[in-house]
Amino acid sequence: MIERLCIVGVGLIGGSLARALREAGAVGEIVGASRNAEHLQRAVDLGVIDRFDTDIAAAVRGADIVFLSVPLGAMRKVFELIKGSLAGDAVVTDGGSAKACVVTDVEAVWGEVPAWFVPGHPIAGTERSGVEASFADLYRGKRVILTPTASTAAEALQRVRAMWQATGAVVKEMEVRHHDEVLAATSHLPHVLAFTLVESLARMSEQREIFEYAAGGFRDFTRIASSDPVMWRDICLANRDAVVAMVEHFSNDLDALTQAMRQRDADAILKIFADAKAARDAFAG
């Protein structure tokens, strides 16, 4: 049972965590924090949080678990704000999509990675954002990756694991750098491709006709291009090396397909498509 949970950044991710824990009866009081009082009041009105404070340092006082759900570019500032205000037994975790940069930020503020810090990443979300988009089942059956460091206390790790399990999530552990490489391939690259495709087509002179005749496949593939641009800018910068490596890898494969089409190499084209179908069918199954 979490007696008091403080969520810094009550949007889709933080709001869904609050709803899930409340529905599971796994939390007592939920305190929201950010600089936007109007947004936080909306979270209160929706029953997502019990109260809020725009003074983030004040909001975390007395909380036994603090969840940071802010853009990666804002993490270090939040760490600076909460330093000196955490309860003695508090555990802090986050939901950032890249982990090495978060570990670097907490180390820069505290001079080390504190034993009470558990880096984490829920692999769940939608293209919508804001507390209005939050819902209790967002994490049910989804993976949450925890990336404890050598400094992370076993008790802190267990408390964060139990929190996510209460939401119905499947909790896994992974090394920080490996997480960033895997997510660059499975999450960050697809978002980069979707954003780039839509932006490229939007600049074409016949853009109105292109989007008018777009079919379901286009909508499915580009759905994630409706995600928060600021958040994804921060992710691309925070996990730059891994994302650039994946973009270059994909670019080489796209060049190979382009060359096969230029040469009318039916066998090469068929092999690429057949291998892709087999891999996708296995994943979906």
Question: 46 falls in which pLDDT band (50, 70, 90)?
Answer: very high
Decide if pLDDT at 260 tops 80: yes
Instruction: Tell me the C-alpha to C-alpha distance, in Å, between residue 57 and each of 17, 46, 53, 66, 270.
Output: 21, 24, 9, 11, 58
The pTM is what? Answer: 0.89
Boundary-marking domain end, from 152, 174, 196: 174
Least-confidence region, from 49-53, 163-167, 193-197, 225-229? 225-229
Is residue 94 within 8 Å of 68, Cβ to Cβ? yes
> How many domains does the structure of the chain reveal?
2
234 and 162, same structural domain? no
CA 25 to chain centroid, in Å, comes to 24
215 and 92, same structural domain? no
Boundary-marking domain end, from 142, 158, 174: 174
73 and 117, same structural domain? yes
Q: What percent of the chain has pLDDT over 70?
A: 99
Decide if pLDDT at 11 tops 70: yes
228 and 257, same structural domain? yes
- If one compares 150 and 214, the residue with the highest pLDDT of the two is 150
Boundary-marking domain end, from 174, 197, 228: 174
Decide if pLDDT at 96 tops 70: yes
- Domain range holding 140? 2-174
Question: 206 falls in which pLDDT band (50, 70, 90)?
Answer: low
Is residue 115 within 8 Å of 90, Cβ to Cβ? no
117 and 47, same structural domain? yes
pLDDT reported for residue 213: 80
**CATH code, domain carrying 71:** 3.40.50.720
161 and 35, same structural domain? yes
165 and 191, same structural domain? no
**Tell me: the pLDDT tens digits for 134-143?**
999 999 999 9
Is residue 56 within 8 Å of 77, Cβ to Cβ? no
Quote the radius of gyration of the chain (alpha carbons, Å).
21
**CATH code, domain carrying 252:** 1.10.3660.10
